[in-house]
Structure 1
Amino acid sequence: MQADATFWDSLAFDGIHDVDVDAVTAAFGTIDVTARGRAAGAACPDCGRSSNRVHDSYQRRLKDLPLAEQRVVIHLTIRLFICSTDNCPRRTFAEPFTQ
């Protein structure tokens, strides 16, 4: 069963404005929420320079509290950005989320 992503965006990520919900499926007692960051870029945590060059991405699988007696699993795609400052010791960094 496909659910309304806008509803889940406001329910699961209330107060986190940097996340978009792409899809929500509910089957066999589990609600799967697929989400990703919406920001175009991020600032390097070491030098502070903004970057929009994506190096790679990976998926985190977060388990949340049950909702209506169904398991909730959030599949959050995290992007790795490239810091292009020459003298910065950090070459890549993960996109941050506010909460």
Structure 2
Amino acid sequence: MVFLFEDFESKVFTNFINLCPASPVLGPMIIKTRHRQKLELPYPRARRPIYNEMLHNVIVVIGHGEENSRRTWAKLIRYMSGHVKRDGYTFFAFH
């Protein structure tokens, strides 16, 4: 069973995530996009609701700033299927 939420900033969504954090959650944008592309819906990982795939395969490095702000940004990036790294010093360049 997958749960659908239209608004990932609503109190209903926040309460649901706090009560059932491991429940799979999707947003309407990923359903619309996947339907248009005739692709199967992804099954969200536990604690990783997916609103859309705008940042799919994108790695965002968050290195500085207030911790609450970094957590908020990380949450939003993950809602858009992005990946978050804590700092830029963990990457290696290959040429």
Q: Indicate the structure with greater helix content.
A: 2
Range of TM-score over shorter length: under 0.3
Q: Indicate the structure with greater strand content.
A: 1
TM superposition score normalised by structure 2: 0.24
- Kindly name which structure, 1 or 2, has the bigger radius of gyration based on alpha carbons: 1
